[in-house]
């Protein structure tokens, strides 16, 4: 397949790379239909994030069609359209059970590396250095999605990619900023600034949402985070 690869500071290339394969029973393979470049990718491009390696596949904002699933995946099936959030979460650890999926205790195999560099480790993240898991990203034709029953958002047919792709990162980032700042409809004119924080330019989300109105996007189907049970062996 073809993918965007990091080749060194200020140097990226589109190259032929091996297709991803199912490695664990909870994996899925997604054929990418849309992907985005995040402002955070500039940190990689400019060499500010350590533990990048030549040939790493970039991209943490993507969506597509499920083309293969591991034997333990039950919520997704081949043919489902999904948006894949950038944090990788197991759904079963103590952090995930408390809703703190961005600090999942199981998805970053290189947590010790991240702790030495940053003081503590977040979850694994697609396409964002080896200290955050070394997972190949989504600026590619296909991607392997670990813990596929947990993160991906199923999308109804008939909804264009362009209307839901930003659920992968950009819109939730802006929404969280609006929520943390307690923005209201009266301050919604500044929402675009939050939506652009750490991301490429994007339409502003509805800043009135954090204060009383519905928080549903109206575009994803199924539960965002399924009820957790004791983690099965993988």
18-54: pLDDT as tens digits: 999 999 999 999 999 999 999 899 999 999 999 999 9
130 and 203 assigned to the same domain: no
From CA 23, how far away is CA 38, in angstroms rounded? 27
Q: According to the model, what pLDDT value does residue 9 have? A: 97
Q: According to the model, what pLDDT value does residue 68 have? A: 98
Q: Is residue 69 part of a domain?
A: yes
187 and 81 assigned to the same domain: no
204 and 106 assigned to the same domain: no
Q: Is residue 25 part of a domain?
A: yes
Q: Who contacts 227 (Cβ-Cβ below 8 Å, separation ≥6)?
A: none
From CA 24, how far away is CA 147, in angstroms rounded? 9
Per-residue tokens: 80: 């489902």
Q: According to the model, what pLDDT value does residue 183 have? A: 80
Look up residue 104 and give its DSSP letter. Answer: -
Q: According to the model, what pLDDT value does residue 178 have? A: 85
Given a contact cutoff of 8 angstroms between Cβ atoms, the answer to whether 207 and 187 are in contact is: yes
Below-50 pLDDT ranges, the chain: 194-234
């Amino acid at each position: 397949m073809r993918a965007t690869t990091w080749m060194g500071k200020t140097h990226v290339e589109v190259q032929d790379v091996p297709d991803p394969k199912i490695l664990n029973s909870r994996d899925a393979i997604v054929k990418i239909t849309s992907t985005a470049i995040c402002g955070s990718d500039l940190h990689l491009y400019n060499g500010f994030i350590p533990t990048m390696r030549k040939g790493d596949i970039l991209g943490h904002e993507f969506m597509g069609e499920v083309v293969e699933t591991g034997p333990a995946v039950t919520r997704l099936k081949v043919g489902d359209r999904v948006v894949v959030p950038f944090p990788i979460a197991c759904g079963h650890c103590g952090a995930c059970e408390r809703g703190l999926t961005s600090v999942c205790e199981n998805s970053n195999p290189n947590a010790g590396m991240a702790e030495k560099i940053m003081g503590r480790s977040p979850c694994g993240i697609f396409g964002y250095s080896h200290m955050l898991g070394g997972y190949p990203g989504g600026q590619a034709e296909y991607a392997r999605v670990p813990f596929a029953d947990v993160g991906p958002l199923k999308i109804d047919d008939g909804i264009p990619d362009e209307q839901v792709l930003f659920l992968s990162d950009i819109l939730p980032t802006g929404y969280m900023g609006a929520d943390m700042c307690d923005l209201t409809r009266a301050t919604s004119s500044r929402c675009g600034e939050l939506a652009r924080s750490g991301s490429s330019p994007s339409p502003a989300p509805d800043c009135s949402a954090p204060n009383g109105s519905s928080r549903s996007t109206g575009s994803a189907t199924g539960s965002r985070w399924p009820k957790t049970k004791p983690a099965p062996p993988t």
